[in-house]
Amino acid sequence: MEENRIIPAHVSIIMDGNGRWAKQRGLERVSGHKEGRESVRACVSCAAKAGIKYLSLFAFSEENWKRPLKEVTALMNLLVESITAELGTFIENNIRVRVIGNIARLSPVVRSAISKAEENTAACTGMTLVIFLSYSGKWDIFQAARKMAADMAADPGREFTMEDFDNYLATAGIPDPDLIIRTSGEQRISNYLLWQAAYSEFYITDILWPDFREKELMDAIDEYSRRDRRYGKVK
């Protein structure tokens, strides 16, 4: 397959199934999240090597705040630990880190770890790793509409286009995902990139996130390579 492989510019992953992975082994949910961190490590390194320009990961949704406090705290601690521990590797591999979401809801400790990672990798020119944290698609569209409405009111003579709207989204400047992968078999978007997923290819696998590693990522890319993206046109 390798010779026909098309590397997407932006691959996005809805990392799902950590809880089920743990349950299958009689472990606490948090063990699944910890093992999921190894999959993040593997996929980041594999994506960078493969020449993917943007790898984005749905790490925590706005809805995930409704989980038990114990799990939310464990997830946030894991995130701070990982982002801090991996920072050296990101810099070494020229990986730029960006975190996107409703950051105001995050604790100061999380926000400071994020700022540190973003600032220290700001000059990196290789792959951009986007972490969606406290993110939801409806939140993004709503905050963008709000900002654009304010600018429209302030400048009634100006024409606003759909392309202008893109620049109000939290993902401004990042190309829309070519490929969206969802692990653990759920066939839904769970309020992820609603606007940006307009023409994304979807790849859903039953594999649980902690079991999704290099080979699984390459299988997804190979499947993507066989897709015919028509964008509504006739080919």
Residue among 18, 56, 82, 136 that touches ligand IPE (CB under 6 A)? 18
CB 209 within 8 A of CB 39: yes
* Degrees to nearest 5, angle at CA 51 with 102 and 115: 30
The set of residues, in sequence order, having a beta carbon less than 8 Å from that of 33 and lying 6+ positions away, is: 18, 74, 75, 78
User: How far is CA 159 from each of CA 136, 154, 155, 165, rounded to the nearest angstrom?
Assistant: 28, 12, 9, 11
200 binds, among Mg ion, ligand IPE, none (CB under 5 to 8 A by kind): none
31 binds ligand IPE (CB under 6 A): no
Q: Is 102 in the site for ligand IPE (CB under 6 A)?
A: no
In contact, 7 and 51? CB cutoff 8 Å? yes
* Interface with Mg ion in residues 15-44 (CB under 5 A): 16
Closest approach, Cβ 24 to Mg ion, in A, equals 14
Q: By CB under 6 A, tell whether 58 contacts ligand IPE.
A: yes
Q: Which of 16, 140, 176, 178 is catalytic?
A: 16
Number of residues that bind ligand IPE (CB under 6 A): 19
Distance of CA 5 to the CA centre of its chain: 22
Active site residues: 16, 64
Q: Which residues bind ligand IPE (CB under 6 A)?
A: 14-20, 58-61, 63-64, 75, 184, 186, 188, 190, 209
